[in-house]
Every structure is written in structure tokens, then in C-alpha cells.
Amino acid sequence: MTTLAVWKFASCDGCQLSLLDCEDELLILADRVRIAHFLEASREVLPGPYDVSLVEGSITTPADAARIEEIRAASGILVTLGACATAGGIQALRNNADVAEFASVVYARPDYLDVLATSTPIAAHVDVDYELHGCPIDKGQLLETLAALLAGRKPDLPAHSVCFD
């Protein structure tokens, strides 16, 4: 039985919804996959280690940066999902701006925030085994990745996102 964990960082949840949208296909895999951590779908949380971790979202806080290290250490294979996790996402617009100025406009008490000056992809912090690009990710690529990892083979994925083709 393969244990699967799904993790969220700074993101809109759209890539996790793509995974939930695969419910018919995932039911076929139900006897081979145990979902150990997927808060979007279930409050049940099983302790690691995890065979496969899917990670959505970018790193935007010191707590995020520490948490992704723990997830990497607890994961056999780590796959990042979508533009947020692979490139920093729309929230990376702040990388070329003054995040303190942004926060002062949006929040009544920005001094309560503990954020990094940048939004960075997961691969800037830990080793990543596979990246799924897109916003949101392509459902077919996600299913191919899960099927391949369950079969113990390398997923057949495009070398680049369509932006590079």
C-alpha cells in the first residue's frame, strides 16, 4: 500500500481541487493508495513517513520554509503541483516590490504578519522529484504521475511547460 500525502502552502487550492476532481480515477486506485494527509478532503492525519507527497503552493513565510523541510524529510518522492509550487505563483509579483508597503495597504495590523520578502517555488528550498506545471495542473499529467509512481516507473511528462515550447 502506497501512502500519499497532500500539502498546501500559499495557493488558491485550485490544484488540490484538480486532484479531488479525479475521484472516479482515484477510486480505481483505492486499494493501492492510502491517503495519509489531505486536509482539503479529510481531517484524518496519519503520521509519516509518506511514500509520495504532493505539494501545492509557494513558500512565503518563515514557518513555510521550516515546514517544507520537515515534509521533504518525511517523503520518499516529492511532487510539486502548479505554478505556485513550481514558480512562486501570482504571489511572486511581490518579489519585485516592497512587501511591507503591500501589507500596510491590505492589513490593519501588518505588524502581526511574519512573512518573507519573496514568494519562492518549493525547489528553491528542498529537492523536488517531479514538477507538474500549469495553473491549475493538467488532470491527465497528474493521473499519469500517480499511476507511474504506483507502478514504480518514471512518469511520462513534458520536459517543459507549454510556455517553453
Applying CB under 6 A, the residues found at the interface with ligand SF4 are: 11-12, 14-15, 56, 82-84, 89, 135-136
Q: What is the dihedral of CA 76, 15, 100, 98, to 10 degrees?
A: 100
Between 36 and 84, CB nearer to ligand SF4: 84
Between 134 and 155, CB nearer to ligand SF4: 134
Between 2 and 11, CB nearer to ligand SF4: 11
CB of 32 to ligand SF4, least distance (A): 26
Task: Tell me the HSE value of 155 on the side-chain side, using a 13 A CA sphere.
Answer: 20
Between 2 and 133, CB nearer to ligand SF4: 133
* In the complex, residue closest to ligand SF4 by CB: 14
CB of 20 to ligand SF4, least distance (A): 12
CB of 26 to ligand SF4, least distance (A): 18
CB of 108 to ligand SF4, least distance (A): 26
β-strand partners of 45: 37
Peptide bond preceding 136 in cis form (omega within 30 of 0): yes
Q: Would you put residue 41 in left (φ > 0), alpha (ψ -120 to 50) or beta?
A: alpha
Of how many residues is the chain composed? 165
Euclidean distance between the first and final Cα of the chain, in Å? 37
- For residue 84 the three cell numbers come to 505556485
Between 17 and 100, CB nearer to ligand SF4: 17
DSSP classification of residue 165: -
CB of 80 to ligand SF4, least distance (A): 10
